[in-house]
Amino acid sequence: MKRFPLILMMLLAMAAGTAEAHTIIHKVSGYVFDTGGSGIPGVNVIEKGTSNGTVTDDNGYFELQVSSPDAILEYSFIGYEKLEVEVRSKRFLEVTLSPDVTQLSEVVVSGYATKRPARNQLPEAEISNALQGKVAGVQVTGDKSNQRNIRIRGAASLRHVYPREQNNEEYSEIDEIGFKGALREPLSTFSIDVDAASYSNVRRFLENGQRPPVDAVRIEEMINYFEYDCQNPKGNDPFSVTTEIAEAPWNKQHKLIHIGLQGRRIEKKNLPPSNLVFLIDVSGSMADYNKLPLLKTAFRLLVNELRPEDRVSIVVYAGAAGEVLPPTPGDQKKDILRALDRLSAGGSTAGAAGIELAYQLAEDNFMDGGNNRVILATDGDFNVGVSSEKGLERLIEEKRDKNIFLTALGFGMGNYKDSKLELLADKGNGNYAYIDELSEAKKVFVNEFGGTMFTIAKDVKIQVEFNPAEVKAYRLIGYENRMLAAEDFNNDRKDAGEIGSGHSVTALYEVIPAGVDSEFFDVDELKYQENQGVVSGSGELLTVKIRYKQPEGTQSRKIEQALMPVEQKFENTSDNFRWSAAVAGFGMILRDSQYNNGITISDVRQWAQSARGEDLHGYRGEFMKLLELGELMASR
């Protein structure tokens, strides 16, 4: 009798174990492909009859724990027919979704508010191409026999390999500015430039073990990639001006002049509200991992910075353009991120149509006194739909005059069109950045949020007048594509550069003092003219004049500041001076400049090492590593 309770307890335990066995969780993973064999990101995968589900990643991969090996999975994604699949004890599933063309024509244009009437009706074939999910299928121009896709099963990732020799990138030709005589050409006039795209693009080449193309190296953008420790302006002007002079480190007979502008830093809470339109290229050329997938991750950082008073719209373009997110408050982050997550690449590139639609949307939702801006994100490959490049530029200029600015963000490699993006940003009163990795996106969208998004002064021009009694010749380092005629300085109709909140702008001049013989400037005396107009008694080396307008202003204001000659050793200058000189020196080496006077990367490293300063975000430390890469390549 005593054994009966024990047996009963054992039977009950066995029964409980059996019941527990029936609730053992079954883990299943797999890929979701489109009809072209490419992974689809953002697909909802749900265990039927439950709320248990997940979403595929950028490569179409998912993992899910279901309650039974006999569970049924439901697959759904906007623009595709729903699909049900029985697990049948399988651990790995691959499924293919077919496009639902009747659904696509309604949803792509109006995003996730399908009751909103379509602004632009996309042709069904173009909609299918735009959202079919070409993330896994890299489209390369040229010899497609070199194209390779490597799918790593179980690793939830796809790698896309471009042939090393495949390169259709485009850069505007740069003719280096030479020395000009101060007697005959005393005025040097240019538009300021706060773009930094060239630096991150140069970094991409160096980190890939390649020397960057000469025309990809814009020295002023390399210099202005870095923050400088300048005083915040104290008066009514939106920026302060500082100047410094010392011997040029690469030529002790010459002088180097540092001109620095520091934009007023405005606290984020005090910035005006934003009306932003994300204009995103989802064409086939954006399919690679460092294009659309990186773009979406980068924009997530920007979305996280938005406030309730900000508004965001999203326009995409491939073979045609459409609105996928109507104006949405910045605190509705889930809706904005959901719209971003569901974008995928496919089709040709009608960039002009996208820009027109984005500007129309920005204008329809214009905020008086706010930051009205289109943010274009693309590899710049506008290969279809642009009937007139000049017409596109005129459109951007027209909207610029209505205080709707354009920021251009470049992504990718191989077919990157740097020249187009730089030009469009210049025409649109905006800035231009190249995003090669997530840390660069953080720099642009988080660390420098105010400078990237909020203009505090526009049409900023600099004119330097050199005193021939003190200066024999001078040359501006960089800014080749920002040069202006002398008469443009006082012409308020002439467009120029912009400064954002907290931005610093640096310009360097190399000067040959009067009376110094230099191999870099040797000009005969004039035969038929007398050397008139030399003010020998002033003692001034030069005068810096700056013109700017308020962000919504039409009349410019002028700032003027004279600089006296100073004898100063390079090693005794400020960190700002030595660092900018080091970056300029590296740029001259990369460009094979005729004016670098034989300096080496070892010289540049020595100058930079003494000027690293606080380096809060580690950008200067990264520059030191790029110097090492440059030196390694030079030693091959």
The reply to whether domains 180-266+456-516+540-634 and 270-450 share a CATH topology is no
In the chain, % of residues over pLDDT 90: 52
pLDDT of residue 151: 26
CATH topology of domain 22-98: Immunoglobulin-like (2.60.40)
pLDDT: which is higher, 235 or 626: 626
pLDDT of residue 347: 67
Task: Quickly state the pLDDT bin for 122 (edges 50, 70, 90).
Answer: very low
CATH topology of domain 270-450: Rossmann fold (3.40.50)
pLDDT of residue 152: 23
Tell me the domain boundaries of the chain: 22-98, 180-266+456-516+540-634, 270-450
Q: Taking Cα atoms as reference points, which of 179, 177, 142 lies closest to residue 162?
A: 142
pLDDT: which is higher, 258 or 29: 258
CATH topology of domain 180-266+456-516+540-634: Immunoglobulin-like (2.60.40)
Give the phi and the psi of residue 473 in degrees, each rounded to 5: -155, 160
Lowest mean pLDDT among 157-161, 378-382, 516-520: 157-161
Is residue 281 over pLDDT 60?
Answer: yes
Is residue 507 over pLDDT 90?
Answer: yes
Task: Render the burial of 515-551: b for 16+ CB within 10 Å, e for the rest.
Answer: eeeeebbeeeeeeeeeeeeeeeeeebbbbbbbbbbeb
What is the mean pLDDT of the segment spanning 416-425?
Answer: 89
pLDDT of residue 531: 58
Q: How confident is the model over 263-278, as pLDDT tens digits? A: 998 888 889 999 999 9
Q: Which residues contact 319 (CB under 8 A, 6 or more apart)?
A: 123, 125, 126, 129, 130, 283, 347, 348, 349, 350, 384, 385
The Cα 253–Cα 247 span in angstroms is: 7
Is residue 17 over pLDDT 50?
Answer: no
Q: How confident is the model over 302-361, as pLDDT tens digits? A: 999 999 999 999 999 886 678 999 999 999 999 999 999 989 887 666 667 788 899 999
Is residue 104 over pLDDT 50?
Answer: no
pLDDT: which is higher, 297 or 19: 297
- pTM value? 0.73
* Average pLDDT score, the chain: 82
pLDDT of residue 438: 87
Lowest mean pLDDT among 1-15, 72-86, 99-113, 445-459: 99-113
Which residue reads 């244009």 in tokens?
Answer: 109
Strands of 61-66's sheet in order across: 61-66, 26-33, 92-96
Is residue 389 over pLDDT 60?
Answer: yes
Per the DSSP assignment, residues forming a β-bridge with 314 are 278, 325
What is the mean pLDDT of the segment spanning 1-6?
Answer: 48
pLDDT: which is higher, 374 or 535: 374
Is residue 455 over pLDDT 80?
Answer: yes
Radius of gyration in angstroms for the set of CA atoms belonging to the chain, rounded to a whole number? 29
Is residue 601 over pLDDT 70?
Answer: yes
pLDDT of residue 242: 94
Q: Is residue 216 classed as helix, strand or coil in its secondary structure?
A: helix
Is residue 578 over pLDDT 80?
Answer: yes
Q: How confident is the model over 80-103, as pLDDT tens digits? A: 889 999 998 888 888 988 887 544
pLDDT of residue 475: 98
In the chain, % of residues over pLDDT 70: 81
Which range, 202-216, 551-565, 570-584, has the best average confidence (pLDDT)?
570-584
Is residue 123 over pLDDT 70?
Answer: no
548 alpha carbon, distance to own chain's centre: 25
Residue type, 9: M
Is residue 150 over pLDDT 50?
Answer: no
Is residue 520 over pLDDT 50?
Answer: yes
Which residue reads 């470049």 in tokens?
Answer: 410
What is the mean pLDDT of the segment spanning 546-565?
Answer: 93
Q: How confident is the model over 156-188, as pLDDT tens digits? A: 222 233 333 356 888 999 999 999 999 999 999
Task: Quickly state the pLDDT bin for 526 (edges 50, 70, 90).
Answer: confident
pLDDT of residue 386: 44
What is the mean pLDDT of the segment spanning 239-247?
Answer: 95
Is residue 380 over pLDDT 50?
Answer: yes
pLDDT of residue 595: 96
Tokens standing for 105?
A: 């024509």
pLDDT of residue 429: 87
Is residue 538 over pLDDT 80?
Answer: no
Is residue 13 over pLDDT 90?
Answer: no
Q: How confident is the model over 603-616, as pLDDT tens digits? A: 999 999 999 988 98
